[in-house]
Structure 1
Amino acid sequence: MSDETMRWAPAVPAANHPGGALRRWASGWWSVVHLVLHPLALALHVTALVLLVTGTALVPVLGIGFLLLVPARLLVAAGAHLERYRLAAVLGVHVPASGPCPVTGAWWRQLVLDPRPWRRAGHLALVSTFGVIGAGVVLALAGTGLAALAAPAVSAGLGHAGEYSWPFGIPGTLHAPALLVAAAGVLLLALTPPVARAFTAVEVLTARALLGPGRGEREAVLRRRVETLTETRSRTVDSVEAERRRIERDLHDGPQQRLVSLAMQLGMAKRALDRGGPDAAREFLDAASSSASAAISDMRHVARGIHPPVLTDRGLDAAVSALAAASPVPVDVEVLLPAGGRPSPTAEAIAYFCVSEALTNTAKHARASRAVVQLWHEAAPGAGLLRLRVSDDGVGGAAPAGGSVADGGSGLRGLGDRLAAVDGWLHLDSPPGGPTVLEAAVPWTVGGDR
């Protein structure tokens, strides 16, 4: 399949894809596993709920309840963490943790009025009732189905060669009841995954509502998000303007001067040709040819600084390898990206310029003997992250250890602003004496897929 075919092939929804219904049914057995695990954590959940309710009821009695609320909150938090982990490990559902305590004031106010333990306790109560009921239902369906499938064979093994014993002593022949019982067993087993998915769907919704951030926390996150986007948009505009001025300066200092020199040399060659013939003009034409070659080289250099062609044609691995080959400091390159897959062009470009800026700073300031560039794909919600790390064994001191990118040079600040605008991040760790480590991450599909 060609690249263009892969790029423009429409995505087929899993439900409509051939075999998608069967895969969905088979994945429902993970819901069965999730429900069956409920009784194993029942003791922890019930103990946490009993301590929480009892401690709250005894708070007015000389504050005795506080002695129970502390372990109750710890057990409730442990139960919520266990449920979060189980949802992620078995069902692949990631529920974010809630934020800090929204209640201010004395410690006892936070202990009693903090809504997070009560929301978690509500979820544990649901798990201890609805979840256990769901576990019983799916176990009954699966167990009865397996028993129905095994019943004819067991009956034949017990010597009922001509008859099959129905419940309550109702006689019947072996052949016809065996088919009916086997069909009933298959039907029950076929119904088990969808029923389990229905139970776990309710549980996932309640887990996101009760274990995740509350409404106030979500609104605060959205406000911070708007503030961040407003700030990064302003910095990105400034960064783009600075990049435009850099390109204008490079064109003025490089190709423009070469072209002016070329025009002057061609004018002198023309006048020499009029006065002394071809031999007199040859020297000026040779100089003009050299100026034209230098102008082409300068234009390629400027274009490479805007977007290198090798990045578009051959991808990030080849482009970073070219940077490493051109660096005066020996560079080891380690690229671990999915076979046959590439990040979006925006993600590739940002990662490329991060590596380019880091290697440029290493060559100019680090006095390093070796550098290492690492790029890899990191699993994350959505399509994941494109991660990179550039390290060297130089003298360090580019920024305080653990400091922000704002402490670095204008190039790093521009990259940090560009990354922040697309929900990425950049971190520089360069203590005096070294080593210097620059790490960055950008969403895999930022700016659109290929």
Structure 2
Amino acid sequence: MNPAERPRSALPRVARVPIGVAAGILTAVGELLFLVVAAVAVAVAAVVPPARRRAHAAILRYAAGLVRLERRRLAGFLTAGVAPGGPATRGWRDVGYLAARLLPGALGALAYGLFAVGVVLAVIVLWAVLRGTLEPADALVQVVIGAALLLVNVQAVASIAALDVRLAHRLLGAGSRAELERRVRELTTSRAEVVAAVDAERQRIERDLHDGLQQRLVALGMLLGRARRSRDPERAAALIAQAHQDAQRAIGELREVAWRVYPSALDDGDLGEVLRVVADRSDIPVRIRYDLATRPDRPVETVLYFVACEALTNAAKHAAAKLITVEVESRAGTIRLRVHDDGVGGADPTGAGLTGLARRVAALDGRLRVDSPPGGPTMVLAELPCG
């Protein structure tokens, strides 16, 4: 699992945020002490040059440890977008982040200090009401004012948490150069995977043509040759009728091969219509739920078509399923295709077919997930960006 995707604390968000901000106050105190000691160490190292290297190494080592602590705090309480891990060596950028962290730490201390003052005042008002020294009307005014200040304080804590997260994303995230290098690596890998997927698909088409269609055409030629040489009109007519049937089957197989290369039906209809045609041709009942307000781009639509067809084919051949459900929906800028069957499961995600699909999906910055435990059911999920 990607560290950035690790689950956060099981506490609800209403509890995570104030706890995260409170923990940030404590870490900010430690970071302030560290920065004071580091400043003194740097000043001493400037006077004593032989100690400079060791002082700098110690500062950077302890700074890296404090940054790791901050990453764990952020990932556990405030956001899942900052990985608990991170680059092993960041140098003085860590020290800069710790210095910037003093601002949300100080603001958090101020907010919680005001909250503590409010609690004390609330206790005083409650005590006055219980003793009868405060009129009910005055008490009501105090309650209204206190509730308003409490709401302001809650909003302040949420804003401090947002500032803390923004600083972390800005100062702990990968730099533009590192992000560019990562993207180049991804594109290089995707290109290699696309080439491999195209080559595997070409071999599959060649195999289908050689083992299926070519053999049928050879048999068709032999039937027509026998019919031409036959001197019995009835025998020749029977052979021609059989040849006609074989020609129809050959046309059907050729159409199947052509659809594997490119679904030409997408030229005339959208993905939902094409999937319904595929479902009508399936021997297993297929339920289609297509919920897209706008038609996606052609490359996205084509990849989704291939994923659905491969999943349907696998379910029909290997799953012994009684019902297959295909759902296509858009959610948060992503198109999700989910194919679910009630079969026996056990599909291998590393198989040639599913691996080729994963490469196709990855080429469009998407991801493919296969969940097929032994005994079933099987779920194939493809997610592709649509924006």
Give the TM-score category using the shorter length.
Answer: 0.5 to 0.7
* Residue pairs, 1:88-167, within 5 angstroms: 88-95=75-82, 99=87, 116-127=90-101, 129-147=102-120, 149-157=122-130, 159-160=131-132, 163-164=133-134
**Taking structure 2 as the reference length, what is the TM-score of the superposition?**
0.60
Distance in 1 between residues matched to 2:258 and 2:68, nearest whole Å: 53
Distance in 2 between residues matched to 1:238 and 1:150, nearest whole Å: 72
Q: Secondary structure at the match of 1:213?
A: coil
Distance in 1 between residues matched to 2:212 and 2:198, nearest whole Å: 21
Q: Secondary structure at the match of 2:50?
A: coil
- Paired AA for residue 197 in structure 1: A
- Paired AA for residue 122 in structure 1: G
What's 2:384 paired with?
446
Change (3 A) 1:84 1:224: closer
Contact 2:82/2:168 (<8 A) preserved? yes
Q: Secondary structure at the match of 1:94?
A: coil
How far residue 241 of structure 1 moved from its aligned partner, in angstroms, is 6.6
Contact 2:42/2:52 (<8 A) preserved? yes
What's 1:282 paired with?
238
Contact 2:74/2:80 (<8 A) preserved? yes
- Paired AA for residue 55 in structure 1: A
How far residue 190 of structure 1 moved from its aligned partner, in angstroms, is 1.1
How far residue 47 of structure 1 moved from its aligned partner, in angstroms, is 4.2
* Residue pairs, 1:181-196, within 5 angstroms: 181-196=142-157
Point out where structure 2 has 5 or more consecutive residues left out of the alignment.
Answer: 1-11, 264-274, 289-306, 322-326, 340-344, 369-379
How far residue 416 of structure 1 moved from its aligned partner, in angstroms, is 8.0
Q: 2:72 aligns with which of 85, 93, 99?
A: 85
Contact 2:60/2:94 (<8 A) preserved? no
How far residue 185 of structure 1 moved from its aligned partner, in angstroms, is 1.3
What's 2:314 paired with?
323
Contact 1:141/1:189 (<8 A) preserved? no
Change (3 A) 1:149 1:89: same
Distance in 2 between residues matched to 1:340 and 1:37, nearest whole Å: 43
Contact 1:152/1:178 (<8 A) preserved? yes
Change (3 A) 1:314 1:297: farther
What's 2:38 paired with?
52
What's 2:208 paired with?
250
CA RMSD of aligned residues (A): 5.1
- State how many pairs are aligned: 316
- Paired AA for residue 323 in structure 1: N
Distance in 2 between residues matched to 1:135 and 1:55, nearest whole Å: 28
Contact 1:84/1:94 (<8 A) preserved? no
What's 2:180 paired with?
222
Change (3 A) 1:148 1:181: farther
Contact 2:205/2:257 (<8 A) preserved? no
Contact 2:191/2:363 (<8 A) preserved? yes
Distance in 2 between residues matched to 1:443 and 1:280, nearest whole Å: 53
Contact 2:329/2:337 (<8 A) preserved? no
Q: 2:160 aligns with which of 175, 199, 207?
A: 199
How far residue 222 of structure 1 moved from its aligned partner, in angstroms, is 0.9
Distance in 2 between residues matched to 1:320 and 1:79, nearest whole Å: 48
- Paired AA for residue 34 in structure 2: A
CA offsets 1:215-258 (integer angstroms, 9 cap, x no match): xxx22431452465367447636753773575366346633653
* Residue pairs, 1:298-313, within 5 angstroms: 300=256, 309=278, 313=286
How far residue 183 of structure 1 moved from its aligned partner, in angstroms, is 0.3
Distance in 1 between residues matched to 2:86 and 2:198, nearest whole Å: 37
Mapped pair 1:176 → 2:121: no
Change (3 A) 1:117 1:303: same
Contact 2:310/2:353 (<8 A) preserved? no
> Taking every aligned residue pair, what percent have the same amino acid on both sides?
28
What's 1:74 paired with?
61
How far residue 194 of structure 1 moved from its aligned partner, in angstroms, is 1.9
CA offsets 1:20-72 (integer angstroms, 9 cap, x no match): xxxxxx96764433221123324532343234323322334152344444443
Distance in 2 between residues matched to 1:73 and 1:443, nearest whole Å: 44
Distance in 2 between residues matched to 1:319 and 1:241, nearest whole Å: 17
Point out where structure 1 has 5 or more consecutive residues left out of the alignment.
Answer: 1-25, 102-115, 165-173, 334-338, 350-370, 375-387, 391-409, 427-441
Mapped pair 1:421 → 2:379: no
Change (3 A) 1:181 1:266: farther
How far residue 415 of structure 1 moved from its aligned partner, in angstroms, is 6.9
How far residue 99 of structure 1 moved from its aligned partner, in angstroms, is 4.2
Distance in 1 between residues matched to 2:95 and 2:24, nearest whole Å: 15
Contact 1:422/1:443 (<8 A) preserved? no
Contact 1:416/1:425 (<8 A) preserved? yes
Change (3 A) 1:199 1:135: same
- Paired AA for residue 210 in structure 1: L
Contact 2:338/2:381 (<8 A) preserved? no
Change (3 A) 1:180 1:27: farther
